[in-house]
Amino acid sequence: MTRKFFVGGNWKLNGTLAANKALVDTLNSAAIPTDKVEVVVAPPAIYLESVRKQLAPAMGVAAQNCYHEASGAFTGELSPAMLKDIGVAWTLEGHSERREYFGESSEFVAKKTAFAVQHGIKVIACIGEKLAEREAGTTFDVCAEQLAPLAKHLTKDQWAHVVIAYEPVWAIGTGKVATPDQAQDVHAFIRKWLAEHVSAEVAQATRIIYGGSVNAKNCADLATRQDIDGFLVGGASLKPEFVNICQARL
């Protein structure tokens, strides 16, 4: 089974209409074979519609967060139906910044993930350990704890609409990228965990992508590892080098 290489760009709280257009123009005119690599960018919510309209249809757009209710008194939230309404097919869930600054628990992240998938939105679900957890030797335990609610809330079939982003928190925005061995070890653990707790088929088919200070220089080495199926990119997704990252496994 071949898993299509996947590269996501998390623009976080960055962008203007003009800057977004420049980025989108770069992507639209780049040599990115979208039959070989799935590219999805996640602008801030206010720019989702304009980016969706400008970006080539073969590339995807993601929200950075999406709630587990269809509508109602939930100020500041977005629903899967709203994303579908403007042609947005993806959302991120559980990014470490949302866990850290907005108190999102693994249970809440899993509830939102399942609701999004049930309502036709695909999810990049983020997990990963903090530095102290890695130093304490609990990386696998932390990842398992973050995966368990996803396995509880998602049916086996729904996993086809989920990409797991392994993003060690100590590597996000720090310039300290995980080594290919460090990333591969955790990706292999995640795949084994899926085989044991969901199914062998889901484990084989699910894309597990790495995030944390990926750039044009370090992406090629990471992309050679058998369980690294792509990247979630923050800082470098705002620069032309994002194109090189999309081309990492060509």
Residues that bind ligand PEP (CB under 6 A): 10, 167, 172-173, 211-214, 232-236
Q: Residue 109, Cα to own-chain centre: how many angstroms?
A: 13
Cβ proximity to ligand PEP: between 10 and 79 the closer is 10
Q: Which residues contact 242 (CB under 8 A, 6 or more apart)?
A: 7, 9, 23, 26, 27, 233, 236
Q: How far is the CB of 41 from ligand PEP (least distance, A)?
A: 12
Q: How far is the CB of 65 from ligand PEP (least distance, A)?
A: 13
Would you give the DSSP letter of residue 119? T
Q: What is the rounded distance in angstroms from the CA atom of residue 221 to the CA atom of residue 87?
A: 34
Residue keyed to tokens 């460090």: 182
3-class SS at 240? Answer: coil
Cβ proximity to ligand PEP: between 155 and 174 the closer is 174
Cβ proximity to ligand PEP: between 79 and 213 the closer is 213
Known catalytic residue: 95?
Answer: yes
Known catalytic residue: 135?
Answer: no
Cβ proximity to ligand PEP: between 91 and 213 the closer is 213
- The active-site residue, picked from 133, 153, 167, 187, is 167
Q: How far is the CB of 150 from ligand PEP (least distance, A)?
A: 18
What is the number of the residue whose Cβ is closest to ligand PEP?
234
Q: How far is the CB of 210 from ligand PEP (least distance, A)?
A: 9
Q: What is the rounded distance in angstroms from the CA atom of residue 28 to the CA atom of residue 156?
A: 35
Determine contact, residues 45/78, Cβ cutoff 8 Å.
yes
Q: What is the rounded distance in angstroms from the CA atom of residue 227 to the CA atom of residue 199?
A: 16
- The active-site residue, picked from 68, 95, 153, 187, is 95
Q: How far is the CB of 133 from ligand PEP (least distance, A)?
A: 17
Q: How far is the CB of 78 from ligand PEP (least distance, A)?
A: 19
Which is nearest to 61 in space by CA: 130, 111, 11, 128?
11
Query: What is the crossing angle of helices 139-153 and 180-197, to 10°?
Result: 40
Cβ proximity to ligand PEP: between 83 and 236 the closer is 236
Residue 224 burial (C-beta neighbours within 10 Å; 0-12, 13-18, 19+): exposed
Cβ proximity to ligand PEP: between 114 and 214 the closer is 214
3-class SS at 67? Answer: coil
Q: Which amino acid is at 76?
A: G
Catalytic residues: 95, 167
